[in-house]
Amino acid sequence: MTPASGYPLLLDLTSRRALVVGGGPIAARRMRGVVDAGAEVHVVAPFVCEDVWDAAESGDITLHLREFNDHDLEDCWLVHTATGERSIDEAVAAEADRRRLWCVRADDAEASRAWTPAVARVGDVVVAINAAGDPRRSSTLRNAIALALDTGALPLRRQRPSTAGHVALVGGGPGDAGLITTRGRRMLAEADVVVTDRLAPLALLDDLDPDVEVIDAGKAPREHTLTQDEINALIIDRALAGMRVVRLKGGDPFVLGRGSEEAAACRAAGVEVTVVPGVTSALAVPAAAGIPVTARGVTSRFSVVSGHDGPLDFASLAALDGTLLFLMGLSRLAEIARELMAHGRPTDEPVAVIENGTTPDQRVTVATLSTIADRAAERGVRNPAVIVVGAVAAMGDA
């Protein structure tokens, strides 16, 4: 009998007694696996390594500092033996076999009656790999599969219906589809419904299953596909129907993205909600243009301002030290420049406007407060754009 021809099985060890014989690093790894599975773990060894000792002191295991005897197997459901002494491992395995207990031998896979695979756990997915007689091969495969699961490269979407829906507010990053986080990409791969914004990385939608519902909830100035109340009602409705909903946004959902309103609405409706932070365009777009928002010897602080939410307190903004970053402010560029100068900012202070940041269409326009409005109009600068005001604006790759 070899591991390749064995019968794979997952065990519920919750509150069931498991025995680990041995106190070295290998035994410690086996111990941690059964502890994590919720077992009542007993470790028997005359000497133990630090990891085993720490687990005993924290109450995760019961430690018996002595040699193994047959009575240790009483009431056990599973046994691991990893003493480093072949004769002892053979004796433990033989007594376990006599008692019809599954025993995993660390010293000899071919002589063992049970084997522990390399395991990849991503979300609620568990994948076990056992390349017979080659644990390094198993680990390499496990790592590759775990990475593919974690990045959404493998089909993660649940196929059986569920009564427990869920909403994930996912920040898609500043534009380039490669700048979404790994967790955000995985949430997309699990989604039944995707409610997307205009500035979200829409190229990722091409990788979704054909039957995933995609809803455009994009907002542009004076042009809303859905109101915010309608978006809240939509994601709650789908989640209450048992679906996994991803609300895919550009940037970060909690940076001028109304993500907090959507999260509050979900919680008020009794819907589980997860916030997946994204790379905010306020920082990433200047960086992609070679503009640091802080730089040693230049400035150590920055402020992020919404350019379209009502009147701006230009007196306070002009008095701030450091870099000013305006999001959604392109339509007010002339006003922003004029008012900042009127309240004391230097007329020759550098300004950069970055269009379509991080995408192949990225373009940077650099001027000064006194000239930026005319320069942007001359070049036909358009949204989406980030405005950078401060000395750092002259440090980029324009």
Model confidence pLDDT, tens digit, residues 315-351: 999 999 999 999 999 999 999 999 999 999 999 999 9
Looking at domain 166-279, its CATH superfamily turns out to be Tetrapyrrole methylase, N-terminal domain (3.40.1010.10)
pLDDT tens readout for residues 33-84: 999 999 999 999 999 999 999 999 999 999 999 999 999 999 999 999 999 9
Number of Cα atoms under 13 Å in the Cβ half of residue 28: 13
- Catalytic residue IDs: 197, 219
Exposed, middle or buried by CB within 10 Å (0-12, 13-18, 19+), for 372?
buried
Give the helix/strand (H/E) hosting 302.
Answer: strand 302-306
N-to-C CA span, the chain: 67
Side-by-side strand order, sheet with 17-21? 61-64, 40-44, 17-21, 78-81, 102-105
Tell me which H or E stretch contains 79: strand 78-81
Separation in Å, CA 243 to CA 25, 72, 73, 229, 251: 44, 48, 46, 19, 24
79-83, 145-149, 174-178, 254-258: least confident range: 145-149
Q: What is the pLDDT of residues 78-128, one digit of tens each?
A: 999 999 999 999 999 999 999 999 999 988 877 888 888 888 888 778 888
The length of the chain is 398
The three-state secondary structure class of 41 is: strand
CA distance 320 to 126: 51
- Tokens 């996994």 correspond to 244
CA distance linking residue 259 with residue 170, whole number of Å: 9
The Cα 124–Cα 160 span in angstroms is 13
Of all helices (H) and strands (E), which one includes residue 389? strand 385-389
Domain boundaries, the chain: 3-116, 166-279, 283-395
CATH number of 283-395: 3.30.950.10
pLDDT the model gives residue 224: 56
Angstrom distance (rounded) from CA 149 to CA 69? 43
CB 199, CB 248: distance < 8 Å? no
d(C-alpha 340, C-alpha 83), whole Å: 74
Could you please state the CATH topology (level 3) that the domain comprising 3-116 is classified under: Rossmann fold (3.40.50)
User: If you average pLDDT over residues 139-152, what whole number do you get?
Assistant: 85
